[in-house]
Structure 1
Amino acid sequence: MKKNLYLSGLIAIAAMLIAAISACTNFLDIVPDERPIEADAFRDPNAARGMLYSCYAHIPNSRVGASSLDLRTADEITTSFEHAVFARFPRGNYSASDPVISYWNDLYRGIRQCYILLRNIDNVPGISAEDAATYKAEADFLIGFFHFLLIRMYGPIVIADREFDINMPTSNYPVRSPYDVCVDFVVAKMDEAAERLPTVQAADSYGRATSVIALAIKARMLLYAASPLFNGGGAARGSLYEGFKDLDGTELIATTFVANKWNRAAQAALEAIEAAEAAGFRLYQNSGYPTALPSDPIEKDLRLVYIDKVNSREVIWGETRREGVYDHQNNTTPFLTGAQGAAFNGLSPTLMMVESFYTKSGLPIDKDPAFNYADRYKMVAGPNGNTLSLNLEREPRFNAWIAYHNSYYEVTRGTANQVLVRFRRNDNCGIQGRSNNYSPTGYLNKKGVAPELNQSRLQVSVHYPWPVIRLAELYLNYAEALIESGQNLSTAKSYIDRVRVRAGIPTIDQSWAPIGGANTQVLLRAIVRQERTIELYLENHRFWDVRRWMIAEDFLNKQAEGMNIQGVNDQEFFKVTTVPFPRDFTQRNYLMPIPQAEINRNERLVQNPGY
């Protein structure tokens, strides 16, 4: 977009092309100029395909928690890896001059790279018209998707609707467009791409864009745009962005609530659902996956919902880059070190998350008359030893995704296919005096960990695509939009029920009937939000959801709680204890800061409020 940004982008592009294409020229040694790079990148169909793949490489890797903005940075979990880069986000320790994790530059490089592909692809010697048309549709999709990611982080952005002249005078540098204009740009891009993309990709092209993915991103964009943060604070709360204007006085985020935005979001979500179902996507159930555990069939389905890459038709778009040995699965499994292998015991659900899961009756724990909420922190005898009353009589998702004191963690260790986990100070998963590789709350995450993961050595023996979009999200998107529009509440409940029934709990009406039913917009809003918190737990959603709902101060500005992991016996361990990691969230944190270096280059670029 700006000259020095473009030059650094060329170096990044060149590095990716070296990996993607068998080129004989070392691009890093070339004076940055687009002509020799383009000549090699588009010299034949194979090179052009490599150029397309390198456009995809600008998508942030959402499964790599150590450098991810949104995987481990909400209030679902806390980790013992407070030394890692991502941990500065929940602490609020970032600024415009030091954004810590910022995708601004790389996403704009990706957009420019897509425009370079669009400009050159028709002239590639020997390329088929069909391939050229598909590549152009994918590039247009990526341009829209990169804009969506930027909007989600920064709000109103600079719309790159063309390949900018790198030699333009600074007085012509582009400025931020109003938020709603940015949203419409993404929607138009996704509509255009959906008309030209295939419904599904071939097996060897899994992860590339499809028409269903494009419609799903459009639906997500409109859901965000209708949400309180970007829609005047909602019907009952004022906007955070009064006075947020460009230098010429243009309002950058509208400050009045527009009810029809929810109708638009609902229509887009339904369109995406219908396209997905027509393409054969469905909620994952009744798998024949060859693992003995979990023994409960519902818990087994829930554990494998996106791990079973062969049989699952629920994941609409998956992140296909392979997991590293220091990523999700090894980081969350029970502690192991030495000749047997390595696992790091460090992704720990917070007490807030533990309490968010329903009871086995499908009700919140504080609403179920059969659940002893007042004594939930009382020590009781469980199937495998003492545990909290809180951990028993819970819904199948809790048992499938959360490991608690004196419960089993299904993972392969030698001839054993499960580990009985205990979290007191000197136990197998206890802190034992370590400064990291421990559970800060006395719980461990199991979601996203394959039961047959073999940890006989430091490796990742089971790989699967990380879920970027799955059908359950679309159902909940549609339900939320219907609830917020105040219409079709019964239809909204039916789509939430699809997720609930798959999870092994009763429908909303069945669960809530004994306590007065659930038929108001206010109550159903709480239900759909809790359902998202549970179903989409640890899938990169919570970070954005609490922001778009404008409730982040209530959740991200407090320290996590868990058990007393320094306790050496049951009586000491089963005490609610504050995790000693600071947390800070202020109003400015609803949006990410534009890197100050970009503001300095372009004096016409207005910074986000508070930075």
Structure 2
Amino acid sequence: MKNHKNIIAAIALIVAIAGCKKYEQTPVDKVDITHIFDPRDSAGVNAQKYLYGVYSVLRNGHNRVGGDYLDAAGDDAISSASGPSNIATILSTASYNSYTIPSDENLFGTYYAGIRQANEFINNIEVVPVLAKYNGYSMKYVWKSEARFLRAMFYFELIKRYGGVPLMGNHVYTISDDISLPRNSFDDCVKYIVSECDAIKDSLLVYPISDPNADSHRPTKGSAMALKARVLLYAASPLFNGGNIDAANNLTGYTNFDATRWAAAAAAAKDVIDLGTYSLLPNFKEVFLTQNNPEILFMRQGGNNTNVETSNGPVGFTAATGKGQTSPTQELVNAFPMANGLPIGDAASGYDSNNPYNNRDPRLTYSIMYNGAQWLNTQIQTFEGGQSKPNGSLQQTKTGYYMRKFMGNFENTNAYSSHSTDWLIMRYADLVLGYAEALNESEGPTTEVYNALISIRKRAGIEAGAGNLYGLTAGMTKEQMRTVIQNERRVELAFEESRYWDIRRWKLAETTMNQQRTGVSIAKVGSTLNYNPINVLTTKFDAPKMYLYPIPYDEVQKNPNMKQNPGW
């Protein structure tokens, strides 16, 4: 881990504050931590600004991986960009090692810097005499719980990438300290994150927040409970629970299988559901555009802009063109069922290969732009030589599809306009699906499992059908229901950095990623469209080592107690 002097963040803050002054009230070379955590600051102004710096460590997922979505490194999309330095392609073709893994996804040092900042806040906020209160707590204790929540979130981001990592507690190391720390076990890390979530949940804000315009970015009691549920879901999953890539290694997962871990994950998710304060927004598309809606469990603010459209929108429009950065795969398109909820491979589904996008799950239209879809007062043309598939050297779709999700309602406008681009780190639909998954694994396909899936499909706009099962089959086995849940997560959470991690925790990546990614080439002959499958990228996954990232090479070199992950 990197050493960071205590005053780095303080200097940055004071410089920012001093920038608003006409003169330097406190020479920068005299700044120390007491200027941030000031015993005379009854409003805690500087301390709160420091906490904002801890929030800034959170990642915004929109095109964050070298200009791509993380899903372009999985099986749901590929990058439209070309060249050997493309990060998403490097990740999806196993073209990295412990010292070349791209920095946009090698976040070991980033999250430890965040943990250090959080510890600085936790250790020093006590001296600030904050007068404001919330639910009987001094606001400084609410802030302290927020810092602990962020720290727990950073640890979760670490363990899902690396397995067990060193736990710092509240300690802030100085340059003279011995930092040759060993990694804690995966079990230790899970217990620590869960205990932190339990300890802080009652001293956080409660949803609905009284002033969402100011505080919607802050974690709530529900956020802490949802993080606990997510951590326990990952811990119960095959990669860590019985499928450890190094069976006797407690750093890379549990050394035994325990079915009660699934039950614990289900119970934690049910606790959030039972709060009764969160719900599915009736319109799927508006989840990502409507701020402060009851489906948001925790998010990172993104501002109002058109960045998603200009980066990922289709090419070929004069007033509102995009770069088409994200090319969804045919595999993802095929995962969306029909409007009756049946898979397209079901003979009773009504799927027509000559009109492949007709009568599909409405989430297909909300998530992906395909040939004939409405956009900017016209119909998208992704047939060869069409308006949005002109070929030549212009960057454009490589698969015949463009990403639609997260974009504004521009089907019937001529230009883009600013809208919310907040990144939803946790949302209620994800939690409901996690509940269904964990309950199915612990108890089988109970009525509650069915009801959870039905609630997601009903909101999506799938038809109720026979028995009001929304396309589900009655009497499924646990294994059949598992397959349905995994596919439901894929279509509901597309491009939300879910699938990339799901195929790892389910230990499916060695199958899904060791094959060709495909798209469609559409030939227009007169008024007839011919759909031809094409291979667009050969992806690769080296199992078992790639189920976890390598500990960065420099961390292992400078710390003799830092064990590397297997295979790296």
Give the TM-score, by structure 1 length.
0.82
Q: Does structure 1 residue 353 correspond to structure 2 residue 332? A: yes
Task: Work out whether residues 161 and 549 of structure 2, in 8 Å CA contact, stay in contact via their aligned partners in 1.
Answer: yes
2:116 is aligned, of 109, 112, 119, to 112
- Does residue 309 of the first structure (1) align with residue 317 of the second (2)? no
1:439-490 Cα deviation digits (max 9, x unpaired): 1111122111111499977x76112422211111111111100101134621
Is residue 5 from structure 1 mapped to residue 9 from structure 2 by the alignment?
Answer: no
| Residues in 1 aligned to 2:17 and 2:163: alpha-carbon distance in whole angstroms | 33
CA distance in 1, matches of 2:271, 2:327: 37
- What secondary structure, in the 3-state scheme, does the structure 1 residue paired with 2:426 have? strand
In structure 2, relative to structure 1, the CA distance for the partners of 1:114 and 1:80 (3 Å cut) is same
1:583 is aligned to: 539
Corresponding position: 1:407 with 2:373:
yes
2:249 alignment counterpart: 244
Counterparts of 1:321-332 in structure 2, within 5 Å, are 321-322=302-303, 327-332=307-312
1:48-447 map, 5 Å = 48-67=47-66, 70-83=70-83, 84-100=86-102, 101-124=105-128, 128=132, 130-167=138-175, 170=178, 173-200=180-207, 201=209, 202-203=211-212, 204-233=214-243, 239-244=244-249, 252-275=252-275, 277=276, 279=277, 281-285=278-282, 301-309=283-291, 312-322=293-303, 327-336=307-316, 340-372=319-351, 376-377=352-353, 379=354, 389-409=355-375, 411=376, 418-436=377-395, 438-447=396-405
Q: Which residue is equivalent to 1:383?
A: none
CA contact (8 A) 1:440 1:565 kept: no
Would the aligned equivalents of 2:464 and 2:470 in 1 still touch at CA under 8 Å? no
Deviation sequence 1:191-222 (CA, Å, 0-9, x none): 11102112134321111111110000100000
**Percent of pairs identical after alignment?**
26
- Cα RMSD of the aligned pairs, angstroms, is 3.0
CA displacement at 1:142 relative to structure 2: 1.3
C-alpha distance after superposition, 1:161-188 (max 9, x if no partner): 1214324554x62211111111010000
Deviations 1:62-112, CA, capped at 9 Å, x for gaps:
223344773432211223124443332112222211221311111111111
Secondary structure at the aligned position of 1:599 is classed as helix
Shift of 1:337: 5.9
Contact 1:77–1:349 (Cα < 8 Å) also in 2? yes
Change in CA separation of 1:512 and 1:345 when aligned onto 2, cut-off 3 Å:
same
Q: For residue 21 of structure 1, report the CA deviation from its aligned partner.
A: 7.8
Go from structure 1 to structure 2 and tell me whether the alpha carbon gap of 1:136 and 1:427 turns closer, same or farther (over 3 Å shift): same
- Which amino acid letter does the alignment assign opposite residue 154 of structure 1? Y
CA spacing shift, 1:362–1:140, aligned 2, 3 Å: same
Count of matched residue pairs: 549
Q: CA 1:80/1:570 → structure 2, altered by over 3 Å: closer, same or farther?
A: farther
* DSSP 3-state at the match of 1:358: coil
Q: Check whether the contact 2:130–2:139 (CA below 8 A) recurs between aligned residues.
A: no
Contact 2:14 2:28 in 1 (8 A): no
Unpaired stretches in structure 2, ≥5 consecutive residues: none
Cα separation, 1, equivalents of 2:215 and 2:473: 50
Cα deviation for residue 116 of structure 1 reads: 1.0
Looking at structure 2, the residues matched to 368 and 20 of structure 1 have their Cα atoms a distance apart, in angstroms, of 66
Give 1:429 deviation, angstroms: 0.3
Deviation at 1:371, TM superposition (A): 2.5
Q: 1:516 to 1:167 in 2, by over 3 A?
A: closer
- Deviation at residue 145 of structure 1 after TM alignment: 1.2
Distance 1:512 1:116, change over 3 A: closer
Change (3 A) 1:56 1:423: same
CA distance in 2, matches of 1:21, 1:261: 51
Q: Is the 8 A contact 1:356 1:533 kept in 2?
A: yes
Unaligned runs of 5+ residues in structure 1 are 234-238, 246-250, 286-300, 380-388, 412-417
SS in 1 for 2:3: helix
